[in-house]
């Protein structure tokens, strides 16, 4: 229980951020955070550190549960409506002046990498990751050919990987 | 699906952005025995990158009642597990007094048939230990 509390203290804020971003509803996002940490507790033995560390694991679970909820409650249109027509899908965090500097630095680093993508690639990534849309759904939403969407997703991920590697290297 | 095709799709696979057919094909390829050309690593890297995207979002405070709800549910599950364990456990393992009674009876039978296992003197320091160990092994049998 204490170990779970430590994990919670460390990662609940990030889980809440992704759940809120997907669902845009605080009570639902709180339910997702709760479900996500219960899943972490249940599946702790399956954690594989080679797959991106604890933070990535917790975030992946929270995002998956948020998207499941989005799909099951038929609220996809709500998120898509909010997202469509806007390329400012990813907020640029303010640079903090105080604590948690390293963590905030990572926020800035990832946001800056996203900001360097061409707008249409950034939109494709945002619709896929933050709205939980498939490439076909993105094509249908944006009116772009499926092949174009697939290429944008692929190029965007390759560029992000390169940008973040360079930043860290 | 070959490894090259898998790697073409792995960024979208990691974002859960594939349609069901492609997703299933990727999952099957990954689960296959191979040989693979770094497919598991490519998937792991892509998933780690995808998870980092959440890092672009500023963390949000979480109401303290969320943790309390988690704690309540974990405690409830633990209590239910303990109850199940108690129910499934053989009687002697539950330190059931009746089980111990049977253990003592078995011990008596054992010692009657194996007098050499008796200590020279009941006051010997090993007597208590041996008795206890036998009682325990008998209890495990029950």
pLDDT 10s digits, B63-103: 999 999 999 998 988 888 888 877 766 665 544 444 344 34
Per residue, what are the HEC states of A134-150?
Answer: CHHHHHHHHCCCHHHHH
Asked if the Cβ–Cβ distance from B67 to A106 is below 8 Å, we say no
Are A63 and A95 in the same domain? Answer: no
Taking the C-alpha atoms of residue A83 and residue A35, their distance in angstroms, rounded to an integer, is 25
Residues of A whose CB is below 8 A from B70 = 4, 8, 34, 37-38, 41
Q: Can you give the CATH number for the domain in which A16 is found?
A: 1.10.1740.10
Chain A closest-CA separation from residue B96 CA (Å): 30
Q: Domain count for chain A, please give it.
A: 2
Residue whose token pair is 């296992």: B117
Taking the C-alpha atoms of residue A14 and residue B62, their distance in angstroms, rounded to an integer, is 10
Instruction: Name the DSSP letter for residue B19.
Output: -
Asked if the Cβ–Cβ distance from A52 to B17 is below 8 Å, we say no
Distance of CA A82 to the CA centre of its chain: 16
Are A94 and A161 in the same domain? Answer: yes
Domain of residue A95, residue span: 85-169
Give the best residue of A2, A10, A16 to mutate against chain B (max B CB count within 10 A): A16
Are A64 and A103 in the same domain? Answer: no
Are A4 and A48 in the same domain? Answer: yes
What is the ipTM, given to two decimal places? Answer: 0.76
Q: pLDDT tens digits, chain A, 169 residues: what are they?
A: 778 888 899 899 999 999 999 998 999 999 999 999 999 888 877 776 666 678 888 998 999 999 999 888 765 444 444 444 333 444 444 444 554 666 677 778 888 899 999 999 999 999 999 888 999 999 999 999 999 999 999 999 999 999 988 666 5
CB distance A104 to A13 below 8 Å: no
Run of H or E including B64:
helix B64-88
The C-alpha angle A21, A136, B53, rounded to 5 degrees, equals: 30
Q: CA dist A154 to A151, B36, B38, Å?
A: 5, 21, 18
Taking the C-alpha atoms of residue B32 and residue B27, their distance in angstroms, rounded to an integer, is 9
Instruction: Name the DSSP letter for residue B59.
Output: P
A129 domain-assigned: yes
CB distance A150 to B12 below 8 Å: yes
A25 domain-assigned: yes
* Domain termination site, one of A74, A101, A133: A74
A118 domain-assigned: yes
Are A118 and A159 in the same domain? Answer: yes
Are A114 and A141 in the same domain? Answer: yes
Half-sphere exposure of A62 (CA within 13 A, CB side): 31
* Domain termination site, one of A39, A74, A109: A74
| Tally of CB atoms within 10 A around B62 | 23
Are A70 and A89 in the same domain? Answer: no
A108 domain-assigned: yes
Are A141 and A101 in the same domain? Answer: yes
Are A62 and A96 in the same domain? Answer: no
Q: Which of B19, B56, B74 lies nearest to residue A111, judging by beta carbons?
A: B56
A122 domain-assigned: yes
Half-sphere exposure of A160 (CA within 13 A, CB side): 30
A80 domain-assigned: no
A79 domain-assigned: no
Asked if the Cβ–Cβ distance from A129 to B15 is below 8 Å, we say yes
A128 domain-assigned: yes
Are A110 and A161 in the same domain? Answer: yes
Q: Can you give the CATH number for the domain in which A126 is found?
A: 1.10.10.10
* Domain termination site, one of A48, A74, A100: A74
Chain B closest-CA separation from residue A68 CA (Å): 11
Are A46 and A91 in the same domain? Answer: no
| Tally of CB atoms within 10 A around A110 | 23
Six-digit token string for A21? 């971003």
Chain B closest-CA separation from residue A76 CA (Å): 14
Nearest CA in chain B to A68: B16
Are A97 and A149 in the same domain? Answer: yes
Taking the C-alpha atoms of residue B127 and residue A14, their distance in angstroms, rounded to an integer, is 61
Six-digit token string for A77? 């249109």
Cis peptide before B35 (omega within 30 of 0): yes
């Amino acid at each position: 229980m204490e170990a779970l509390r430590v994990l919670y203290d460390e990662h609940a804020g990030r889980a809440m951020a992704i759940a809120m971003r997907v669902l845009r509803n605080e009570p639902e996002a709180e339910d997702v955070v709760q479900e996500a940490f219960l899943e972490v507790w249940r599946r702790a033995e399956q954690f594989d550190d080679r797959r991106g560390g604890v933070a990535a694991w917790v975030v992946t679970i929270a995002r998956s549960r948020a998207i499941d909820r989005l799909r099951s409650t038929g609220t996809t249109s709500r998120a898509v409506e909010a997202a469509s027509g806007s390329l400012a899908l990813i907020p640029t965090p303010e640079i903090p002046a105080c604590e948690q500097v390293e963590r905030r630095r990572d926020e800035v680093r990832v946001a800056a990498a996203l900001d360097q993508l061409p707008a249409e690639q950034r939109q494709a990534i945002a619709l896929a990751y933050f709205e939980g849309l498939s490439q076909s759904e993105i094509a249908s939403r944006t009116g772009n050919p499926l092949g174009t969407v697939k290429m944008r997703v692929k190029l965007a991920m390759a560029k992000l990987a390169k940008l973040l590697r360079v930043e860290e290297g | 699906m070959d490894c090259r095709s898998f790697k073409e799709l792995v960024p979208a696979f990691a974002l859960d952005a594939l349609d069901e057919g492609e997703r299933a094909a990727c999952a099957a390829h990954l689960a296959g025995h191979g040989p693979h050309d770094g497919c598991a690593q490519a998937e792991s890297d892509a998933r780690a990158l995808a998870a980092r995207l959440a890092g672009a979002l500023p963390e949000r405070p979480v109401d303290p009642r969320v943790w309390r709800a988690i704690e309540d549910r974990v405690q409830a599950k633990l209590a239910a597990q303990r109850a199940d364990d108690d129910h499934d456990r053989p009687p002697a393992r539950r330190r059931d007094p009746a089980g111990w009674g049977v253990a003592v009876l078995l011990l008596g039978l054992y010692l009657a048939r194996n007098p050499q296992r008796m200590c020279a003197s009941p006051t010997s320091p090993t007597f208590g230990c041996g008795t206890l160990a036998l009682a325990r092994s008998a209890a495990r049998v029950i």
